[in-house]
Amino acid sequence: MRYLTKEWYELCQQTGLDYSMRVHNGAAVYDEALYLRLYKRKEKEFIKLQREIYDLDPRFMLEQDGCTLVPLDKFANGEVINKEDEVVYHMPPEEKERILKLINEYDARTMFDEKKSKEEFRSLQETKEREIINKLPPELLQQIADIRVFSLGYCTRGILNQLLGLIEESKKKMNQVINEYSIAQNEENIPQIIRERFGFHDCVVKAFTVDKKDVVICLDTHGGFTNYNMITFEMSEIIKEEEHIVGSTWLYEELYRTDNGYEAHMLFWSHEGLKELIIRCNDIIIEENHSNVERNVIGLHQII
């Protein structure tokens, strides 16, 4: 990647460091009693939310079947919606079957397991602590009296002000790179159909195969914003390939013209870390493989 690099992605993560942070003067010193009190408070809130989710009856999802949908852009802009704009949504049998299965599981569920929720909360907090340690600059990290209290969402006014300053600086750098990236990509002579289709943010790589000189990537698009789930890089050469692309989530891409075709740069995320893939090829074929994709209704809004 030339612009949307791993370093740039890590910079993006710093822009959310103040998420739900609250000022607490007691966070200035290490205080075990304070930590335990705040932990119990947050744990109680977590269990309450988990219980609400547990008691949510999935039957409400069946109400989508047969509902009237209209174009989201017209609805959002307050435009006149004509009869021909309306679409009646008929739920696919597979989706209805999935919901009915959820209903059966809901009706047969056992009592809410509060102990399990407490264990899940503890695990989430431990993960959050590790992430914070990896994201925060060392000079700021050493000023935090108790990282456990910080991970629960509490810090001093001084720490919060530094966080806000760090976030603002990170946003400026992040946006500067995005602007440079946009200018560079717009200058590339990429056919419109490829430019429009070559974007798979939040899709998951299901398969990565090399067939003679072609590289084929198959994607699970359910979490993404596209139905195109198969990319073929024809007459290709792999310039850079980091391990375990399969199972990773597609984050960002850069596409450049070469004398003989294209050079595609891709950034993926997995639990093992960020992965980069660079492929040089003669052509790129992006298509929808109907055997591996379930169509979703995109760009429509339900009339209530």
CB-CB contact of 156 with 25 (8 Å): yes
Q: What is the reported pTM?
A: 0.67
> Looking at the predicted structure, is the pLDDT value of residue 232 above 90?
yes
Q: Would you place residue 63 in the very low, low, confident or very high pLDDT band (cuts 50, 70, 90)? A: confident
Q: Would you place residue 11 in the very low, low, confident or very high pLDDT band (cuts 50, 70, 90)? A: confident
Beta carbons within 10 angstroms of residue 201's beta carbon: 13
Give pLDDT tens digits for 242-299.
988 999 999 999 999 999 999 999 999 998 889 999 999 999 999 988 654 333 333 3
Residue scoring higher pLDDT (112 or 301): 112
Residue ranges of E strands in the chain: 22-23, 68-71, 87-88, 154-155, 204-211, 214-220, 230-234, 237-241, 249-257, 262-270, 273-281, 283-287, 300-302
What is the end-to-end Cα distance of the chain in Å, rounded? 44
CB-CB contact of 86 with 302 (8 Å): no
CB-CB contact of 276 with 218 (8 Å): no
| Phi, psi at 273, each rounded to 5° | 130, -170
Give pLDDT tens digits for 206-229.
999 998 899 999 999 988 889 999
